[in-house]
Structure 1
Amino acid sequence: MTLTDFGFGYILDSTGQFMADNRIPTDRRFHTFLLDKENRVVLVGSPIGNPKMWDLYKSTIARLAAHGGTLPDEQ
């Protein structure tokens, strides 16, 4: 199985240009983030090996799916 088998796009920044242009912390825990359909960051942190973060990713993805790809404004 390759990444293209998943049916979604991805970007591999092999030159580090994205990191240089976007003030990404050097701490690798913050190199994973979830974007909404407008490419806004809605969640930061790696769910790998962290069950609480994985639960947060799943619930956030469900909220995104329920609201057309964006999160509703919080009241």
Structure 2
Amino acid sequence: MTNRYTVHGMRSAFRDWAGEETNFPREVAEAALAHVVGDTAEQAYRRGDALEKRRKLMDAWSSYCETPPKEGQGG
């Protein structure tokens, strides 16, 4: 039996959720996934790690993951 779930699948689910269900900026979601955002000029000036914003995003993801699905949503 093969496992249907992968780490990349979970990362994709997180990114979809962050983009569709929250108001967190795209850059924060991408930073949470350790993705580099922007062109080389933008990267040269972006020095922060948005740690506190990422922490809030991950707390929201944790709450989302811990919430049982609503009736009829499966899960």
Given the two structures, how large is their TM-score scaled by the length of structure 1? 0.38
Question: Greater RCO between the two (CA within 8 Å, min separation 6)?
Answer: 2
Rg larger in structure: 2
Structure showing the higher strand proportion among its residues:
1
Structure showing the higher helix proportion among its residues:
2
Given the two structures, how large is their TM-score scaled by the length of structure 2? 0.38
